[in-house]
């Protein structure tokens, strides 16, 4: 942590454009993210107060508040009235529904039940390796799971994870774990998913997927391809979800 007061940084810009300054609160935000990345505060842990952070960084409390506001809006921190600001965790229901966008047409979203069908190490297919920024043939952990809502199969997930990061992840560990999958990645492998990029397309169910979802082959499905990233914009998961949307839909909010 710096001891000297921070000042707006000026980034060099080519051409006739004027110099671009980095606001103080952006610098503070960057430093807070660095602290989160190195594990200074664990998921679910209370971070220092705005006053303490302002004293540490030698900036105004308002500057710190603006940085924290942005991190809360990005779901890296969570404000709790009267308690303070905490590191966000995937163990919270709010975080779980943030990454699970398939919701019922009627009623409120309900937690899913996971049934893990497969977990093994294999060599990364070329496209998966590219998306995970690995070399073709590097080790990955492949997981297939079935998500059930109110005991009805709704989603088949195919998941690929970097083998080095998730060394030790086994079918046995998955079978005994009862929380959200991203919670396991966070607590036992030190990997927090902070954002994801998705592509959606319609596709008919292939026979193997149709059997798992208990529908006829060719039934229309929503296929969601996702790449999830951790701190430093590092990709740490490739996922393909085959979703039955007869009574459900994909929900997103644009802001």
3 belongs to a structural domain: no
Instruction: State pLDDT tens for residues 155-184.
Output: 999 999 999 999 999 999 999 888 889 999
127 shares its domain with 68? no
Highest mean pLDDT: which range of 54-58, 102-106, 212-216, 248-252: 212-216
211 belongs to a structural domain: yes
**Total-model pTM:** 0.81
Indicate the number of domains in the chain: 2
146 shares its domain with 78? no
Domain containing 178: what range?
93-250
N-terminal to C-terminal alpha carbon distance within the chain = 33
Confidence band (pLDDT; 50, 70, 90) for 239? very high
135 shares its domain with 75? no
13 shares its domain with 123? no
100 shares its domain with 68? no
CATH number of the domain to which 31 belongs = 1.10.10.10
Contact 194, 183 (CB under 8 A): no
183 belongs to a structural domain: yes
Q: Look at residue 217 and tell me whether its pLDDT is greater than 80.
A: yes
Q: Look at residue 110 and tell me whether its pLDDT is greater than 70.
A: yes
Instruction: State pLDDT tens for residues 26-56.
Output: 999 999 999 998 888 988 899 999 999 999 9
Q: Which of 51, 68, 87 is the last residue of a domain?
A: 87
């Amino acid at each position: 942590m710096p001891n000297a007061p921070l000042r707006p940084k000026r980034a060099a810009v080519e051409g006739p454009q004027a110099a671009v300054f980095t606001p103080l609160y952006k610098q503070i935000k960057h430093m807070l993210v660095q602290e989160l990345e190195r594990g200074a505060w664990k998921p679910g842990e209370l971070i220092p107060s705005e006053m303490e952070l302002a004293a540490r960084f030698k900036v105004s409390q308002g500057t710190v508040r603006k940085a924290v506001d942005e991190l809360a809006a990005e779901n890296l921190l969570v404000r709790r009235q009267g308690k303070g600001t905490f590191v966000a965790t995937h163990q919270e229901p709010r975080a779980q529904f943030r990454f699970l966008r398939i919701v019922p047409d009627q009623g409120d979203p309900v937690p899913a039940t996971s049934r893990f069908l497969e977990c093994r190490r294999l060599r990364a297919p070329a496209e998966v390796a590219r998306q995970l920024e690995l070399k073709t043939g590097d080790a990955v952990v492949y997981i297939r799971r079935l998500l059930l809502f109110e005991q009805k199969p709704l989603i088949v997930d195919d998941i690929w994870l970097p083998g080095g990061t998730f060394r030790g992840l086994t079918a046995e560990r998955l079978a005994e774990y009862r929380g959200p999958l991203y919670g396991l990645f966070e607590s036992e492998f030190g990997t927090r998913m902070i954002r994801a990029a998705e592509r959606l397309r319609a596709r008919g169910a292939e026979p193997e997927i149709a059997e798992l979802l208990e529908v006829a082959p060719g039934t229309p499905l929503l296929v969601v391809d996702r790449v999830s990233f951790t701190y430093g914009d590092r990709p740490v998961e490739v996922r393909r979800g085959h979703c039955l949307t007869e009574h459900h839909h994909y929900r997103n909010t644009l802001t």
